Amino acid sequence: MDTSSESDSYDRMRGHRPRGREAHRRPGRDRARTRTSGNGGDDEAADISEKINTLANTLQDTSRNLTKVDRMLGQYREHTDDQTEAMALLRENLEESISQLQTQRLSRSNGVRSASASASTLHTSDLEACSGSEGQRFYPTSPLRDYTGTPGRRKRSQSAGVRFKDASLTGEDIHTLHQSLRDLRCDQQRLSGDLDREILRRNRSEIDTRRAMESLTEHMTTSQRQDSVSSRVERRLQELEREMHAEQRSTDRERRPEQRVAMSEELQETLRNRKAQNYERDGITARLLKTEREKSKMEQELERARILLEQSEDSRESLVQQVDDMRGELLRARKEKTELQRARLETFQPSAQPHGSHTDREEGRGALRGSDRLELEKEVAELRVQLCKASVLGEVEDLKRVLDRKEKERVRLSLKVEELSSELARREQQQLRMLEQLRDIQSRGQAEKRETEELLQESTRSRDELKTRAQEAVRQWRAKCRRLQKELEEARAQAQFHTDKASQAAREKESSQAQLKALSQQTEAARRELGEILGRLAQREEELHRKDVELSKTRQRQLSLEQEIREVREASAKLEEETRRQQAIQARLREENQRLEERAEIQAHRSKRDQDTEAELQGALERITSAHAQVVQRLAEEEKSRKDLQKATSELQAKLTVVQEERSTLGQQLHLEREVHQKELQSMKAMMEESRIKKDREMQDMLKLCHQEQDKTQALLKEVKADAASDKELCGVLSIKLDRMKDECDKLAAQLSTKDEAHALLLRKYQLLKQEMDDKVRSGERRRASESELEEKVLRMEAEQETILTSMGEELDAVCRSLARNGEDKLQAISQKPGLVKDPHRWLAETKTKLRWLCEEVQERDTREQHLRKQHHQTRDQLKALRQIRDSEQATLLQRLEQQEKLLHSLSTEKKDLLERSRRKEEEMRSLQDRVLDLEKNTRVALDHLESFPDKLCLLENFRDLEESQRQREMVEQRYSKYKDIVWDLQHQLDESKRRIQEYRDDKLDATSRSLRLAALSSSIKGSSTFLSSSLTSDKLSPHKHLTSSDLDDSAVNRTKPLTD
């Protein structure tokens, strides 16, 4: 930009004109020579009229330009008011979002980054690296002041201006005016350079924000893909709840016999655990729904932030256009100032021209003396003096007013430019904050990805554990089924034994028939024997009927056992899925609790592990309730402690709900952003549909597996039914045989009725002895079988007892180790020995001591949690006090802004008054122009009359020269004094404007420093532990953006240097 002086340019433009008195004398002499021919007065009047016309035209142009500038300033003020309102709304929304994000950051892991501590205000002069001492500088070009730091400066010649009689004094006044104008130009150039740099920097920041928004959209797509997992979990939980309700109803309807109670104790314990877990699942599902809502709200908040960024870009473009318009207006004002200065210098020429013309007249004319001519000359001189006075006074007053207006406009424009720079700095800060928020969101997304990977690993581990447990349960049920099969085989062997006996009886009957044929004498004895045989057959039939009943019962038992096996399989599958989901949900809850408070993390994890271990302990202890009543009471006490832990977890969940409500407020702020991202949502919906199709496929695969298992069970049922049918066929064949035997026995009874009674007595004795022997043999076999069964049961019970006790001891040791932080010596003292399992009393005593130690640890943790809660409440109170202080300071700043607005309003009213005065002066100038025209006509007539008296002209001209010289001296002195006053007023106004600008900047810096201190205090109070890490990372990431209050003061001082110069 051109920084050359206006005086040099003025000299170059007017270089072709003659300088000083020579310029005034030469045309005067020429005119004196031409007046002899009768045309001198017409030329002078024409010159004066031309100058007055030029002055009138320049004044009209300046008035038009000022009206245009006023209109533009009014429009700009309205636009700035709208922008201030929009910026206030944006500030409120961003402050709320920042406070909520800070609360969420405190609830998360140690990777928190505080955005408010690293945020710093930038100034327009600090945008580049060489803003203070290096780079582009705009030095003033005044020849009257000694600027030591401006090399290559041009010196102005003293002959550049118009010379009066006292040339030194008038030159200084004019040069001071030029210097003030040059300083204004330098300030304007510096401001324009700052604005250009700021526009370039804003363009770069826009590119960065766009890149950040693109990365954010990618992150949102990934997060929405992860939402499909949560929807799967919800659906599966609902299905499990329905299945659990159906199972509960079926279990209530079915009444099992006493023999099945001992075998299905494990299933009953699992059902009880399910009932306890149902309540937890309901809470977990509610939490999952809340988390999904929070995700949707976060998406809405991001959409709102994107809309706000677009609005800020539009407003920035409008501001750039307005700045360009203001530049054009400033250039016009400069041109007008130069034209006014030229016109003012030209007005000084007519005062010098009469002197030159009179000197020429002395040489060319004769002395005309007369009373008439003297009077006429006096009248003409008086008229000329009046004209000069009126023209000079009007011009001086107009110049004063124009200079006052221009300076006021310059001050206003400088204030507005500063306001624009401050608004641009604020918007830059907001963009920086938004970028930091976007980075925080990206870090959160990465943390969520890691969490999901950890959850998947934990789910695989829990799946493997559940598989092993289910396999063990299935093995136990298979062993029980094998036992039942053995019992069925024994029953079948007994039935075969009875059938063999029946066949033996049939053989005996055949032998008896042969004896009857051979021995007719022994018929009566045979008849008696047949009666006894019939009694035996009846008994055998009853025994067969009983065995059939027992077979039917055993078949029913098989069916019930098969149903139980199916139920156990289904329950195991459901339990596997439920445990996976519960573990995933519990892991999420644990991580959320860790983010809320760093100390509460460890306690939450351990409490949840304690809950899992206690649930397992309860399952194991409930198995031993039938044999150990004392252990049942202790388990009840453990259940009470578990309930206390659940209450503590419920309190933590309440805290989580509070945090989730705060997230919901953030979601409301980002609600507007969804309108912009409808296309992205459609693409995400397509992804969700694909994920649903995948889920359907997985469900179909699961259903196929279930159908395969059902087919296997149906095949087993068919085999069992086939066995039952074969047994029924055997029973039918045996019944047919029995009917035949009855018929034959009836026939034999008719034949044997004739037998002897002697054979009957012998046979009775023989039968009694046989019965006694058979009874003895059967009782011995039964005793042996019962003894073997009892021995096997005792061995199994002992083995089960040892395994249960060892598992209980290991689980208790694991719980103690998880709870013990520094008490390894206590654990070594409390830990069980391998030989204690055989001695149940000692084992029970050691379990008592362990449980007491666990209760004491839980109580200590409760006290720690209460202490942490108290600390949390204290920090909340401190934050409230700091917020109140910040609100009060904001109120004071708003009051100051209102006062400044009132001052601006008063200045606008003064400007209107000045415009009205300028209009009045223009009307007066027009009236003066009319008068001047009339006077010119009168002077022409008087000059024509004087030319007719050549003798008196010399005396008149001499008197005129003397009077005019004295009057010119007086006029120059008056002008000098007036210009001194004008220059002093201008300097005073400039000092006042500089002082106001400095005060405004100081207030602005105080407000920014206070806001930074409040943000730093709030961040330090909220997270004292995370503040150092976040500040270090922020310094590493953005060291060039970290500014302090001292840097701001330095920038303010560097800005005010050219003004003070």
Between CA 222 and CA 233, with CA 227 as vertex, the angle to 5 degrees is 145
Tell me, yes or no, if the pTM score tops 0.85.
no
Is residue 709 within 8 Å of residue 569, measured between CB atoms? yes
Q: State the CB neighbour count (10 A cutoff) for residue 433.
A: 19
Q: State the CB neighbour count (10 A cutoff) for residue 612.
A: 16
d(CA 553, CA 559): 10
pLDDT for 397-436, tens place per residue? 777 777 777 778 778 777 877 887 787 778 778 778 777 8
DSSP at 831: P
Asked whether the predicted pLDDT for residue 860 surpasses 50, the reply is yes
Provide the pLDDT for residue 362: 44
Number of residues that make up the chain: 1061
Rounded to the nearest integer, the mean pLDDT of the chain is 68
pLDDT interval class at 970 (50, 70, 90): confident
Mean pLDDT of the region 567-590 = 74
d(CA 85, CA 76): 14
Place of tokens 């327009």: 124
Q: Which amino acid makes up residue 614?
A: E
**CB under 8 A, 24+ apart: contacts of 586-592:** 586/284, 587/451, 587/454, 587/455, 587/458, 588/287, 588/291, 588/451, 588/455, 589/284, 589/287, 589/649, 589/653, 589/656, 591/109, 591/451, 592/107, 592/656, 592/659
* Span of 33-42, 150-159, 690-699 with lowest mean pLDDT: 150-159
Mean pLDDT of the region 462-491 = 76
d(CA 773, CA 779): 10
- Residues near 885 by beta carbon (within 8 Å), at least 6 away in sequence: 1014
Helices 40-107, 953-1022: axis angle to 10 degrees equals 0
pLDDT interval class at 144 (50, 70, 90): very low
- Residues near 812 by beta carbon (within 8 Å), at least 6 away in sequence: 617, 832, 847, 850, 851
pLDDT for 189-234, tens place per residue? 777 787 778 788 777 777 877 777 676 667 666 655 554 555 665 6
d(CA 351, CA 349): 5
Q: State the CB neighbour count (10 A cutoff) for residue 902.
A: 10
Mean pLDDT of the region 358-374 = 51
Is residue 1017 within 8 Å of residue 88, measured between CB atoms? no
Q: What percent of the chain has pLDDT over 70?
A: 57
If you average pLDDT over each of 516-520, 659-663, 696-700, 1047-1051, which comes out highest? 696-700
Asked whether the predicted pLDDT for residue 150 surpasses 70, the reply is no
Provide the pLDDT for residue 367: 45
DSSP calls for 1022-1040: H-HHHHHHHHHHHHHH-GG
Provide the pLDDT for residue 140: 42
d(CA 433, CA 312): 14
Is residue 329 within 8 Å of residue 702, measured between CB atoms? no
If you average pLDDT over each of 214-223, 269-278, 426-435, 883-892, which comes out highest? 883-892
Residue 753, helix vs strand vs coil? coil
Mean pLDDT of the region 1013-1035 = 50
Burial of 176: CB neighbours in 10 Å, binned 0-12, 13-18, 19+: buried
DSSP at 520: S
Q: Which amino acid makes up residue 122?
A: L
Q: What percent of the chain has pLDDT over 90?
A: 0
Report which of residues 485 and 758 the model is more confident about: 485
Mean pLDDT of the region 571-575 = 73
d(CA 664, CA 716): 56
pLDDT interval class at 962 (50, 70, 90): low
Provide the pLDDT for residue 946: 60
Asked whether the predicted pLDDT for residue 119 surpasses 50, the reply is no
Is residue 529 within 8 Å of residue 763, measured between CB atoms? yes
The shares of helix, strand and coil residues in the chain, as percent rounded to the nearest 5, are 90, 0, 10
Report which of residues 90 and 11 the model is more confident about: 90
Structure tokens at 267: 């299933």
Asked whether the predicted pLDDT for residue 82 surpasses 70, the reply is yes
DSSP at 292: H
Is residue 516 within 8 Å of residue 747, measured between CB atoms? no
Alpha-helical segments (H) within 108-154: 115-118
Query: What is the rounded (10 degree) CA torsion for 761, 763, 766, 772?
Result: -90
Sort residue 1044 into left (φ over 0), alpha (ψ -120 to 50) or beta: beta
For residue 466, CA distances in Å to 215, 237, 710 come to 41, 18, 21
Is residue 861 within 8 Å of residue 821, measured between CB atoms? no
Structure tokens at 177: 């005016």
Sort residue 38 into left (φ over 0), alpha (ψ -120 to 50) or beta: left
Provide the pLDDT for residue 701: 79
d(CA 284, CA 357): 109
DSSP calls for 444-466: HHHHHHHHHHHHHHHHHHHHHHH
